[in-house]
């Protein structure tokens, strides 16, 4: 692969990898900061109806907004070009990510997280279409899409480490009230974690506007042969089955992540080992311990996700059947979800590390699968629109609603039981979405020998 890429192509791959990493960095930030942020901004007790209501809202409303505008972004990607949409999406979420650290109310945080998700959702769709068309040779394209998307899991690891660094050094960092914002705790760990999201965006903002546009899109645009994109065209007889099945399966992939895996930090305080660590500590110190353990668990899960993405990138080159490829991850995940969340997340911290590694592997690998699969089944003028529909209507809007479902079903007046109930609900949700996704895979269309043009 290295011998076939020019310097410009290597730069394109590097920038795309940073973009994918930053997307997941922002998405996986919320599970790490939602508990302390809600306690500061609302005063709600974990497990109470108010607390769980805002957990559901913070997970789902930004994803819903991202889904709506992500679908629009996919349409604009087909209409105005991949590079231009990529550039503006970066600016949106970089600015919103930085300002979210200055939130003075839960409503302000919610609105800024909506803008972050809008940028992230648009960026993913445009980036996948852009890469697929810059590297049209099938084998090389599979490698490029597979390995650049693997960096998404690096984003998850980076946010876990950033949160850990914020926990360690928050007291020595500049106080946020020096900038004129009246916040309750101007040196809160969760605020610095949110603000760190602007850092990976800097190289993207500086370099991406100068990279080339998709050649095939530009040629069709210049020749006047580029058809106008249309959401309705996704449901024409030739594409209807593809659109419906990929949307359902994308939703189930995200449902496992948001309805189960991203709820892990809420389960950690209920584990016996963690309760023993915090029993003699004051609330701020106890909370810091819980955050640190949660951060460690998330790191392990992200290592699993990274392993899954790399494994998918390798297998995608050799396994022709796309149904067989995704089932390699669906079947083990179907077995793992109830074990990891229904048992390990309520009983044993050490085995939970092992379990979440493999749960992350099976779930996160499916995200890379869709990045490889979707560009092959939609023509150029519908590529962004088709990817946008599956990723945003399916993944961002339907899939992330399972976070709201888990939060709603996990409401309990017993604060001590709250972490355990979250884990049990997550086990049921995770198993259910894996089962639906596996059943839907029997109708997943296999791409033709030649990609859609």
Domains of the chain by start residue, with CATH: 7-443 (1.20.1250.20)
Q: Is pLDDT of 2 > 50?
A: no
DSSP secondary structure, 86-106, as one string: HHHHHHHHHHHHHHHTT--SH
Q: Is pLDDT of 181 > 70?
A: no
Sign of CA dihedral 357, 361, 364, 368: positive
Residue 1: burial class (beta carbons within 10 Å; 0-12, 13-18, 19+): exposed
Q: Is pLDDT of 311 > 70?
A: yes
Query: Which residue blocks in 319-400 are alpha helix, DSSP H?
Result: 322-339, 345-347, 349-377, 380-388
Q: Name which of 358, 253, 376, 365 is nearest 320 in CA terms.
A: 376
Q: Is pLDDT of 436 > 90?
A: yes
Q: Which of 11-20, 188-197, 439-448 has the highest mean pLDDT?
A: 439-448
Return d(Cα 153, Cα 89) in angstroms, integer: 20
Which pLDDT band, with edges at 50, 70 and 90, does 331 fall under? very high
Q: What confidence score (pLDDT) does residue 249 get?
A: 96
Residue 197: burial class (beta carbons within 10 Å; 0-12, 13-18, 19+): buried
Q: What confidence score (pLDDT) does residue 1 get?
A: 42
Residues 354-366 have pLDDT tens digits of: 999 999 999 999 9
Residues 38-94 have pLDDT tens digits of: 988 988 888 788 888 898 888 888 888 888 887 787 777 887 777 788 878 888 888
Return d(Cα 387, Cα 373) in angstroms, integer: 10
DSSP 261: G
Q: What confidence score (pLDDT) does residue 341 get?
A: 95
Which pLDDT band, with edges at 50, 70 and 90, does 449 fall under? low
Residue 174: burial class (beta carbons within 10 Å; 0-12, 13-18, 19+): exposed
Q: Name which of 251, 250, 431, 435 is nearest 341 in CA terms.
A: 431
Q: State the first-to-last Cα distance of the chain, in angstroms, to the nearest integer.
A: 25
Q: What confidence score (pLDDT) does residue 439 get?
A: 97
Percent of the chain with pLDDT over 90: 27
Lowest mean pLDDT among 115-124, 309-318, 415-424: 115-124
Q: Which of 18-27, 117-126, 277-286, 425-434 has the highest mean pLDDT?
A: 425-434
Q: What confidence score (pLDDT) does residue 5 get?
A: 76
Query: Which residue blocks in 170-271 are alpha helix, DSSP H?
Result: 189-195, 201-207, 215-223, 240-259, 264-267
Contact 21, 158 (CB under 8 A): yes
* Residue with the two structure tokens 């390798």: 314
Residue 173: burial class (beta carbons within 10 Å; 0-12, 13-18, 19+): middle
Return d(Cα 42, Cα 49) in angstroms, integer: 12
């Amino acid at each position: 692969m290295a011998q076939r890429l020019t310097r410009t192509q290597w730069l394109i791959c590097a920038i795309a990898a940073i973009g994918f990493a930053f997307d997941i960095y922002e998405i996986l930030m919320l599970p790490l900061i939602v508990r302390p942020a809600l306690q500061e901004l609302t005063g709600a007790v974990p497990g109470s109806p108010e607390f769980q209501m805002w957990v559901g809202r913070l997970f789902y409303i930004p994803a819903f907004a991202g889904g709506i505008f992500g679908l629009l972004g996919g349409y604009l990607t087909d209409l105005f070009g991949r590079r231009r949409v990529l550039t503006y999406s970066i600016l949106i979420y970089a600015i919103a990510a930085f300002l979210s650290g200055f939130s003075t109310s839960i409503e302000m945080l919610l609105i800024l997280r909506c803008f972050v998700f809008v940028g992230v959702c648009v960026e993913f769709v445009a980036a996948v279409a852009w890469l697929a068309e810059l590297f049209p040779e099938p084998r090389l394209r599979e490698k490029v899409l597979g390995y650049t998307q693997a960096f998404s899991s690096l984003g998850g690891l980076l946010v876990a480490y950033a949160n850990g660094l914020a926990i360690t050094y928050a007291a020595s960092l500049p106080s946020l009230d020096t900038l004129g914002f009246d916040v309750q705790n101007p040196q809160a760990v969760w605020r610095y974690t949110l603000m760190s999201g602007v850092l990976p965006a800097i190289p993207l903002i500086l370099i991406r506007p100068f990279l080339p546009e998709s050649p095939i899109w530009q040629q069709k645009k210049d020749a006047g042969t580029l058809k106008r994109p249309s959401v309705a065209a996704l449901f024409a007889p030739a594409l209807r089955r593809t659109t419906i099945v990929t949307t359902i399966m994308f939703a189930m992939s995200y449902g496992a992540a948001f309805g189960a895996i991203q709820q892990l930090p809420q389960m950690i305080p209920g584990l016996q080992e963690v309760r023993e660590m915090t029993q003699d500590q004051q609330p701020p110190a106890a909370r810091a311990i819980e955050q640190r353990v949660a951060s460690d668990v998330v790191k392990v899960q992200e290592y699993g996700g990274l392993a899954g993405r790399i494994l998918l990138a390798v297998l995608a080159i050799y396994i022709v059947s796309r149904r067989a490829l995704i089932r390699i991850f669906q079947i083990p995940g179907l077995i793992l979800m109830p074990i990891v969340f229904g048992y390990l997340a309520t009983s044993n911290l050490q085995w939970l590390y092992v379990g979440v590694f493999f749960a992350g592997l099976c779930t996160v690998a499916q995200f890379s699968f869709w990045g490889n699969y979707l560009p092959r089944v939609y023509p150029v003028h519908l590529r962004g629109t088709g990817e946008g529909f599956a990723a945003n209507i399916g993944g961002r809007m339907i899939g992330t609603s399972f976070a709201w479902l888990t939060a709603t079903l996990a409401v309990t007046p017993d604060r001590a039981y709250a972490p355990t109930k979250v884990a049990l609900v997550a086990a049921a949700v995770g198993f259910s979405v894996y089962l639906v996704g596996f059943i839907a895979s029997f109708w997943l269309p296999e791409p033709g020998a030649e990609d859609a043009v």
